Structure 1
Amino acid sequence: MAKDRPVAFDTQDNSTLGEINITTGVLENIAAKAASEISGVLTTVPKLEAGKFLRIERTGVVAKMNQENGRISIDVSVRIRYGYSVPEVAFSIQDRVKEQILFMTDLVVNEVNVHILAIETDSYSDQEFLQLEEEYGEDSKIETGV
């Protein structure tokens, strides 16, 4: 579906002052932003080596909108952090996306399909662990003051 394709807009208010057009790209951006605000959702994806060289950035949240017979459905693809409950994150995404689109555009979303692409570990903590291992050696024990 093209990003600049207008979506039929039926306002809840009966007064009309003119025509309002909202493109699918706007709805997709609202959905992606709303999903990225949920705790546990990764907003950026680690770059591949070629991506680092070419300075290509990938986003962790992708939203696609479909409209059939006046019904709006949104597919949201996300990566989540390890340690978060997948169903809880998915339900939170569904609620947040529907709520934000209704609040910002007065359009009712009939369904929000959440696709979990991956469960990612925090790359920073892995890198810190490897640095500690290199400094102190594999066999040495690091005591923490807990």
Structure 2
Amino acid sequence: MIEEELNNVEEVNIPLEDKHVGQGAIEIAPEVLEIISGITVNEIDGVYGMQGSFKSGVNELLGRSSHNKGIYLNSTDNGLSIDVYCYLKYGASVPKVALEMQTKIKEQILFMSDLEINHINVHVVGLVTPREVEKHRASLAKGMEDQA
């Protein structure tokens, strides 16, 4: 439901502030900011993975990684905000991991695009137990054996 609403939103490039007058415009596609956020989140200890859509699941089956999976950028009159939908590893401190996500996403986007993000909303949609991690690894290994 959320993805349907977000997919219906017209994608408009985000212009950067022109600090060097007369050199031309610089714009960033919203997907670029989502990818920066996705890569940043996946590097944080305690994050198991991101909540994906059917489209991102099919892409992964075809061998294409979807770095912006589970990341949604919103542009309003109040500025830019990001919603992160993720799964955490069981035993991770939810507040600590969420705060680290918010801090690192803001830092990376500011560093890479010179854009300020007003809000980063972290939605923990599930916890993954060590047993589930092992089942997932075993199924991946079996899938690799079947392909060979």
Is this a same-fold pair by TM over 0.5?
yes
> What amino acid maps onto 1:34 in structure 2?
T
Is contact 2:80–2:116 with CA below 8 Å preserved after alignment? yes
The Cα shift of 1:62 comes to: 1.1
Find the partner of 1:69 among 73, 77, 98: 77
Check whether the contact 1:74–1:113 (CA below 8 A) recurs between aligned residues: yes
Aligned match of 1:120: 128
CA contact under 8 A between 1:3 and 1:25: conserved in structure 2?
no
Aligned residue among 29, 33, 38 for 1:32: 38
Contact in 1 for aligned 2:50/2:70 (Cα 8 Å): no
Unaligned runs of at least 5 residues, structure 1: 46-50, 129-146
CA distance in 2, matches of 1:20, 1:40: 35
Give yes or no for the alignment of 1:9 onto 2:9: no
**For each residue in 1:88-139, what CA deviation from the matched residue of structure 2 results, as whole angstroms up to 9, or x when unmatched?**
00000000100000000000001100000100013344689xxxxxxxxxxx
User: For 2:100, which of 92, 100, 115 is the aligned residue?
Assistant: 92
TM-score by length of 2: 0.68
Which consecutive segments of 4 or more residues in structure 1 shift more than 3 A?
1-4, 13-16, 55-61, 124-128
Match of 2:90 in 1: 82
Where does the alignment leave 5 or more consecutive residues of structure 2 unmatched?
A: 1-5, 52-56, 138-148
In the alignment, which residue of structure 1 is the partner of 2:118? 110
Partner Cα separation in structure 2 for residue 95 and residue 81 of structure 1: 19
Distance 2:33 2:136 in 1: 37
Q: CA shift at 1:77, angstroms?
A: 0.8
SS at match of 1:83: coil
Q: Which has the higher helix share?
A: 2
Provide TM-score, normalisation by structure 1: 0.69
TM-align CA RMSD: 3.0
Contact 1:44 1:59 in 2 (8 A): no
User: Which residue pairs with 2:25 in the alignment?
Assistant: 19
